[in-house]
Amino acid sequence: MSTPRFLVVDKPVGVTSHDVVAVVRAITGEKKVGHTGTLDPFATGALALALGPATRLVQYLDESVKIYDMTIQLGAATDTGDPTGTVILEASVPALEVGQVEEVLAGFLGDRMQRPPAYSAVKLNGRPLYSYARQGEQVEVPARPITVRDLRLVSLEGSALRVMLTCSRGTYARVLAEEIGVALGTCGHLSALSRVRTGPFHLDDALTMPQLGEIVALEPGRTWQDVLLAQGRPRDQRPRWRPRQDVLEALRPFVRPALACLGHLPLVDVPDSELQRARSGTLPSRMPPGLRPGGRYLVVNGAEIVAVADIGPRGPRVVCGLGGEA
């Protein structure tokens, strides 16, 4: 897997995004594996992983659309805004009708400003906000623009709302959960979250950890936790894995070429005769029609991404070259 590719994993509850990255790095043998956006340990769903040279392409993905399946527990607010925190406020929950809830949800649609939660990885003066919160330090963080494209009520059962959220990158579901609770005349927190889509990556295409465990395990009857999370044990106590080549072949149907994930970018296809010059940074003068100065595009040779380029003051220029790795 030396070509730039992406793999979507359905992250389960209780496992960190870093844990999943470490597992995939170990089973594929790729030195570089990264995710396109973290999920909290309590959250589940689509975790998109960049393999090998694809780690250099993450910043060029279009992940402007995110979809979350979120559950809001009304009547209690926590210090973290999610189920891992301590309850800091309780309030009675009024009798709610579906139409009333839908009307409140509609009020959150559109462009709005949102302040990142105290327990988040957003950095202030080089420190993540959660480090201030854990030490009891209160800091002011400027609100950021977000867009809520859709907020659809899935179910209303007692004091729990299940909502499907479609939003822009950078939106915090836990903050919305708290605001929705207040708008409904009580308080609330995000009690469950599953990421259904992140840009071009969908949960329906994700590989589950049990599936990954079956692909890797040499011995039947092992749980995926036993198979995949045993790297910290002494070598003689770890379950045996299948030969790596067999594992890579089994993963092939789940792995997506980087080119298929960057379809929002226009491209220029260079012939074999110009390939070496393009890899060296000398791009052809032809560019995608209608592209404005600063606009980005892909330089490809068939299905191979050679570089990400843009239109600079003096013409085409490479902003991310993959050289011969692609």
Residue 1 pLDDT greater than 60, yes or no: no
Residue length, the chain? 326
pLDDT digit string, tens, across residues 27-77: 999 999 999 999 999 999 999 999 999 999 999 999 999 999 999 999 999
For residues 40 and 78, is the Cβ–Cβ distance under 8 A? no
Two structure tokens written together for 75: 């009547």
Residue 278 pLDDT greater than 80, yes or no: yes
Question: What is the average pLDDT score of the chain?
Answer: 91
CA distance 93 to 83: 18
Residues assigned a catalytic role: 40
Residue 268 pLDDT greater than 80, yes or no: yes
Residue 237 pLDDT greater than 70, yes or no: yes
Task: Count Cβ neighbours within 10 Å for each residue of 17-31 and write b for 16 or more, e otherwise.
Answer: bebbbebbbebbebe
pLDDT digit string, tens, across residues 110-154: 999 998 776 666 665 677 667 766 767 677 777 899 999 999 999
Domains of the chain plus CATH, in order, are 5-62+202-258 (3.30.70), 66-198 (3.30.2350.10), 265-321 (2.30.130)
DSSP assigned state of 49: E
pTM score, two decimals? Answer: 0.91
Which pLDDT value is given to residue 325?
46
